Amino acid sequence: MEFEVFLKNKAQEFDAILAERLKMKEPETLYEAVRYLPMLGGKRLRPIMAYLSCRAHTNAPNAQAKEVYAFGTVLEMIHNFTLVHDDIMDNDEKRRGKPTVHRKYGLEAGINAGDALFAESFQFLAESSLKPEIIKILVRDVAFMSKGIVEGQQMDVDFEKEPSKITIDDYLVMIEKKTALLFQVAAKGGALIAGASEQEVSDVAEFGRLTGIAFQICDDLLDIMGDEKIIGKPVGSDIRKGKKTLMVIHAFQNAVPEDVAALKRTLGNQDARDEELREAVAVLDLAGSIAFAREIAGKYNRQARSYLSKLPDSKHKLRLSQLMEFMVSRKK
Ligand code: IPE
Ligand code: IPE
Ligand code: MG
Ligand code: MG
Ligand code: MG
């Protein structure tokens, strides 16, 4: 089966569990907003990573299937919670090709919907049929991860206000928290549920973390180079918001002074015209910043691959490696 078909089918299995778990309730004004984004689909990459990591660490067919599906769904709920709040912070109008939750239902419902998804995720985990000792570890990991995500998200918005002091290392710490932690915990939790050894759990967690870093660098590239119709979110949003992406940090250090000045004029200008955005992208390109970001993503990709190579060969290991390649070469 071609990998993208596998991805689509597996995503649909998670769609069904989410639909079942996120039932309509009172007040409808809240639960409509809660269900809206999860029901719009999405790639379901984090649950699929958890599932594949579990299957790659056990020979028993369908071992722990129900449990790893529940765990994966927990991660997808947390991911959706962070997206709802992220779109409020980033002031974005579109996600998954449709109006964002706060645009459709208002700011208050957006905040509450995110909170409800966050709470629901822990309830689902606690009610799963996982062994109590595994639930205890996962609750701790998921809570630690959630704190890390909001720390990273706060750094991301704080960096917007910093005109030029942000370093590549600052950026890497920020994306490790806001994005890579979820993939790290997905890979780790899947292996834990499969009963993998401590070393195996730590190797696959590192695989998830490194893949997650490469994934966010690619997301930042798509934000300036992607096709809006395919990615389903606004192109140029990061420049308009003044995000300090790897490309921007690199250009500050490498572009000629006039170009740096031009870039700074457009960065953070919410009303920047398309023409100005194109100019800013041209500056990034000319300074070699786009090529640089691709190179760094490739470096993390290779490191991730080296951790995966420690796993014994199997169908699911191959799928994990295809998932990683998809995550760093995706167009959406
Ligand atoms: C978007 O994640 C947020 C980032 C961390 C870049 P995805 O690209 O996985 O979004 P969906 O879930 O498929 O919509
Ligand atoms: C994603 O960062 C991080 C989280 C949602 C936690 P972005 O702000 O780049 O994500 P998109 O591009 O809006 O999906
Ligand atoms: Mg955003
Ligand atoms: Mg953001
Ligand atoms: Mg983005």
The SS3 call for residue 236 is coil
Answer whether 216 contacts ligand 1 (Cβ < 6 A). yes
Pocket test for ligand 2, best of 77, 78, 90 (most atoms within 8 A of CB): 90
The tens digit of pLDDT for each residue in 194-240 reads 999 999 999 999 999 999 999 999 999 999 999 999 999 999 999 99
**Residue 21 exposed, middle or buried by CB count within 10 Å (0-12, 13-18, 19+):** middle
Helix axes 289-308, 246-254, angle to 10 degrees: 130
HSE on the CB side for 98, CA within 13 Å? 13
Answer whether 86 contacts ligand 2 (Cβ < 6 A). yes
Residues forming a β-bridge with 94: 99
The tens digit of pLDDT for each residue in 28-62 reads 999 999 999 999 999 999 999 999 999 999 987 77
Flag whether pLDDT at 1 surpasses 80: no
Q: Which two tokens stand for residue 105?
A: 């239902």
Pocket test for ligand 1, best of 10, 44, 45 (most atoms within 8 A of CB): 45
The tens digit of pLDDT for each residue in 115-128 reads 999 999 999 999 99
Flag whether pLDDT at 243 surpasses 80: yes
From atom 11 of ligand 1, which residue's Cα is the shortest distance away?
A: 42
Answer whether 301 contacts ligand 1 (Cβ < 6 A). no
Kindly indicate the confidence band of residue 133, based on its pLDDT and cuts at 50, 70 and 90: very high
The tens digit of pLDDT for each residue in 288-321 reads 999 999 999 999 999 999 999 999 999 999 999 9
